[in-house]
Amino acid sequence: MASLYRLILPALRRLPREAAHELTLRAVELGAGRFLGAAAAQEPDPPVLAQRLWGLDFANPVGLAAGYDKDARVPDAMLHLGFGFVEVGTVTARPQPGNPRPRLFRLEQDQAVINRLGFNSGGLDAVCERLSQRIRSGIVGVNLGKNRDTDDAAGDYAKGILRAARLADYLVVNVSSPNTPGLRELQQRALLGSLLERLSSVRETTGCQVPLLLKIAPDLTAEERRDIAQVVLEAGIDGLIVSNTTVERPHGLLSRHAHETGGLSGRPLFTPSTALLAEMYRLTQGRLPLIGVGGIASAEDAYAKIRAGASLVQLYTALVFSGPDLVNQIKSGLASLLKSDGFASIAEAVGTAQGAPSVRRSGSLVVPS
Ligand SMILES: Cc1cc2nc3c(=O)[nH]c(=O)nc-3n(C[C@H](O)[C@H](O)[C@H](O)COP(=O)(O)O)c2cc1C
């Protein structure tokens, strides 16, 4: 049965991209989520997709990437669509409007999106208030950013950790969105080292060991990639999310919006973000879980991310083009791919496209097939 989303997709396409997103979000908020997606969301996930990471039990590895639900309006409705986890945010310390519109563009022919939203955010107070109203079930992470006009970037992230630590299953330090001036510079070795050290000790003061992850950009030099790997291992960061949107414009983009300023996501991001993922897996020697994100639109794409080193995956842009049925398609396809390659779990498949044995956190040796 076609989901309602597929039926209303032509109408949504005719709306400006941001209005279509707001309309979908409002509908989900009002309880229409289960009608937009397929009924299959109610079926239990195949056991082969289950895994335990950071002490959290993931029923499946397919997550909703940051940016879809910036203000934590619908995390539970999105979990009910079949996601194994949902990341809300990016949330800034104080509310801010983001960049002037238009700031979101749909690249239909390229199955891509360009955004220069610039962290439009209702702020920490609003997000934490909503999260505190939840009956907690299902894994929800909170992605933290900084205000555009702040003088103290580290202070903004610290506030986010202090406020959200007890309300989130994991936290993300986002230093990789391209639309906030100066943000990506925080990925440079010296700045990143002192930022992560400070944030690790802020987390200590909260008394709860909420996992702290770092989300990185795909547009990094070889030196920056090596530095980041070293710094996250030294600072005791729990995981990496690879990657955010790209400011590059790969050759061959067809859509008329291809030269808009902002971060490009979707299909053209798949290859560069997967290459970066594989490299970060190698540079961190498989010692911390990675979340692979960028251009996933099928079970094969999700499987390629896992084989490149991801323990979990996330998606956003493909949802815009395919609707929420995609989540269940990816999960069932992934279960078949794992089984047909003889893997009894995701953990067994992680990093097996790397060509070299690797030691997982559990200490067991994983030899590529
Ligand atoms: C409209 C839009 C808004 C986004 N906003 C955020 C954000 O606030 N914080 C963040 O870390 N990533 C944000 N992202 C990046 C996504 O989380 C993801 O890293 C990226 O889009 C690649 O995945 P995809 O190709 O599946 O979309 C945004 C992406 C899009 C398309």
Residues 171 and 186: their CA atoms lie apart, in Å, by 17
* Contact indicator for 315, 305 with CB cutoff of 8 Å: no
**For residue 267, is pLDDT > 70?**
yes
Residue 29: its pLDDT value, please? 83
Which residue's entry shows tokens 């079949």?
Answer: 82
**Band of the pLDDT at 190, cuts 50, 70, 90?**
confident
- pLDDT value, residue 234: 94
Q: Which of 83, 316, 327 to mutate to test the pocket of ligand 1 (most atoms within 8 A of CB)?
A: 316
CB 269 near ligand 1, within 6 Å = yes
Annotated catalytic residue, options 176, 177, 311, 358: 177
Residue type for 192, please?
L
Contact 107, 253 (CB under 8 A): yes
Rounded CA-CA distance 267/262 in Å is: 16
Range 122-130 average pLDDT: 97
Percent of the chain topping pLDDT 70 = 92
Ligand 1 contact, 70 CB (< 6 A): yes
| pLDDT, the chain, mean | 91
Report the percentage of the chain scoring pLDDT > 90: 78
Split at pLDDT 50, 70, 90, the class of 112 is: very high
pLDDT band at residue 34 using 50, 70 and 90 as cut-offs = low
More confident residue, 9 or 35: 9
What pLDDT is stored for residue 358 in this prediction? 42
What does the pLDDT look like over 283-326, one tens digit per residue? 999 999 999 999 999 999 999 999 999 999 999 999 989 988 89
Q: Give yes or no for residue 268 CB within 6 A of ligand 1.
A: no
Q: Which is it for strands 139-144 and 170-174: parallel, antiparallel or unpaired?
A: parallel
Reported confidence tier of residue 331, pLDDT bands at 50, 70, 90:
very high
In this prediction, residues 150-171 reach a mean pLDDT of 97
Helices marked H in 54-112:
75-80
Average pLDDT estimate for 131-142: 94
Q: What is the DSSP string of 154-185?
A: HHHHHHHHHHHTTT-SEEEEE---TTSTTTGG
150-159's contacts with Cβ under 8 Å and 24+ in sequence apart are 150/93, 153/182, 153/183, 153/186, 153/195, 154/194, 154/195, 154/198, 154/199, 155/93, 156/92, 156/93, 157/195, 157/199, 158/198, 158/199, 158/202, 159/93, 159/124
Residue 23 — pLDDT band, cuts 50, 70, 90?
confident
Nearest CA to ligand 1 atom 28: 67
| Cβ proximity of 268 and 112 under 8 Å | yes
Q: For strand 112-115 and strand 85-91, is the pairing parallel, antiparallel, or unpaired?
A: unpaired
Q: For residue 218, report the distance from its CA to the centre of ligand 1, in Å.
A: 12
Nearest-CA residue for ligand 1 atom 30 is 67
Nearest CA to ligand 1 atom 13: 67
pLDDT at 187: 81
Ligand 1 pocket member 113 (CB < 6 A): yes
Indicate if 132 belongs to the active site.
no
Q: Could you tell me which residue, 369 or 346, shows the higher pLDDT? A: 346
**Percent of the chain that is helix, strand, coil (3-state, to 5):** 45, 20, 40
Confidence at residue 14, expressed as pLDDT on a 0 to 100 scale: 75
The gap from C-alpha 48 to its chain's centroid, in whole angstroms, comes to: 22
pLDDT value at 365 more than 80? no
In this predicted structure, what is the pLDDT of residue 369? 31
Q: Give residue 10's pLDDT.
A: 77
Report CA(339)–ligand 1 centroid distance (Å).
30
Q: What is the mean pLDDT of the segment spanning 150-169?
A: 96
Judge if the beta carbon of residue 122 lies within 6 A of ligand 1. Answer: no
- pTM for this model (two decimals): 0.94
Mean pLDDT computed over 34-39: 58
Relative to the CA of 243, which ligand 1 atom is closest? 19
Distance (Å) from CA 210 to ligand 1 centroid: 22
Give which of 313, 305, 308 is closest to 358, Cα–Cα: 308
Task: Write out pLDDT tens, residues 194-222.
Answer: 999 999 999 999 999 999 999 999 999 99
